[in-house]
Structure 1
């Protein structure tokens, strides 16, 4: 059996609430210049262990605030864990916060080259496939491709970001609620693209609240509650556990 392409071992990450807030003079005297060791600390994920095999399609399920998006950011390397290990054996195509890499002052055309190059696509590849990328993003984006993206709607930015990231040849695909954005035509394009990537043997980790999307794409589910991995089984096992808690 091949080694896991993603492996979490006792994974944990902590955040600090109000960490930018300056202490008042009274608090500085009471706490002698600092805060109590655990004041404001919370763990969106803690003691999480699982393994994902190449070619798996895994749905990450849970209520808002249970660490789903945090997990994707740990896999993508955007966040660094405070406990345990996260081992990723392959490059990642992150379909999350798709407009985050854009520069508002640059045009759509310039941002295609910027974001693509940041993810390892060559200038020659981007030139060759530029028209396909823009066509996929739709007519609105095509008409505004030489306009600074500060004038784009959020939906236009997501469309263009998806069009670029979906071109990456990386073996691991991370998707965070991307298909919840945009109209029916765009969602259909997303479905066709993800079906194609899965058909190529890519590994998918999908965060979604849409049961139809989860059951369509995923053969396995991870259900999280309060930062803990509660269920690791089929996608239906994870959905049943989630729906049981919601009904309760």
Structure 2
């Protein structure tokens, strides 16, 4: 991996076992007398190289493997074959509420995740909490409530704000900007532009080609787990639109 390469995905394949015949108990297994599990290939021999400071979009229809690829790069899913080399730290925003404990309050979740990010100094931690609260626009009485009582938009605000507080080398965003009001979406986009201008690396999954073209310099198109096109984001988004 060259000194400017921050992520390198080499010949990566991922498969999941699926239950496709309605066997959910030992009785079903005995009666139907067949193996209920089928191995389904989600990613097929993926090769991607991402350079430091690059903003790459990942587009494709539902079920093409976009989210699986992000989760594999982030280390959440182990590839069946191939290797992934990462030379940097992550701030993953992979799903609404991912990483949040629903029984804890907003403030407790902020403190817990900041500790996981390595923010232990009391003054620095309080400063980060204040910034997260301000960016999320969630009132203090809301942040004192258990997250399980939040709306989906409130959960997205909190998760996004906490992730942005982690000054990582790589920002991974998976379709979470579609949640929340337009004002907060615009605020998030401005923050992403700011992160991009700082020279951070961004991986961005979206079904909205216009957002991909605004944020990303390059992109890849996934179809049935294969990278079918790679290049400038505008060209790849044009290829994506032709699928419909």
**Cα distance in 2 between the residues matched to 1:98 and 1:171:** 21
Instruction: State the distance in 1 between where 2:182 and 2:161 align.
Output: 16
How far did 1:66 drift? 0.3
SS of the aligned residue for 1:72 comes to helix
How big is the shift at 1:118? 2.2
In structure 1, distance between residues paired with 2:48 and 2:98: 28
| SS of corresponding position for 1:104 | coil
* Aligned partner of residue 40 in structure 1, secondary structure: strand
Gaps spanning 5+ residues in structure 1: where?
Answer: none
Is 1:109 the counterpart of 2:126? The answer is no
* In structure 1, C-alpha distance between the alignment counterparts of 2:93 and 2:188, rounded to whole Å: 11
Matches for 1:142-221 after TM superposition, within 5 Å: 142-221=140-219
Contact 1:106/1:148 (<8 A) preserved: yes
Matched residue, 2:16:
15
Distance in 2, matches of 1:70 and 1:113, equals 28
User: Separation in 2 of the partners of 1:75 and 1:108?
Assistant: 28
| Structure 1 residues 7-34: Cα deviation after superposition (integer angstroms, max 9, x where no partner) | 111111000112984451145xx56xxx
Query: Pick from 82, 90, 93: which aligns with 2:91?
Result: 93
Query: Which residue is 1:62 aligned to?
Result: 60
- TM-score, normalised with respect to structure 1: 0.90
8 Å CA contact retained: 2:95, 2:175: no
Report the alpha carbon displacement of residue 122 of structure 1 after superposing the two structures with TM.
2.6
C-alpha RMSD of the superposition: 1.9
TM-score relative to the length of structure 2: 0.91
**Are the counterparts in 1 of residues 104 and 146 from structure 2 also a CA contact under 8 Å?**
yes
Q: Structure 1 runs of 4+ off > 4 angstroms?
A: none
Equivalent residue runs for 1:27-38 within 5 Å: 27=32, 35=35
The CA deviation string for residues 176-195 of structure 1, in whole angstroms up to 9 with x for no partner, is: 11211111111111011111
- 1:123 deviates by 4.8
Q: How many residues align?
A: 238
What's the offset of the Cα at 1:200?
1.0
Do the aligned residues in 2 keep the contact of 1:171 with 1:202 (CA within 8 Å)?
Answer: yes
Q: Does structure 1 residue 49 correspond to structure 2 residue 47?
A: yes
Unmatched tracts of structure 2, length 5 or more: none
- 1-side partners of 2:59 and 2:12: how far apart? 17
SS of equivalent to 2:168: coil
For residues 33-62 of structure 1, the C-alpha deviation after alignment (integer angstroms, 9 at most, x for no partner) is xx39xx511111111101000011001010
* Aligned: 1:138 with 2:137: yes
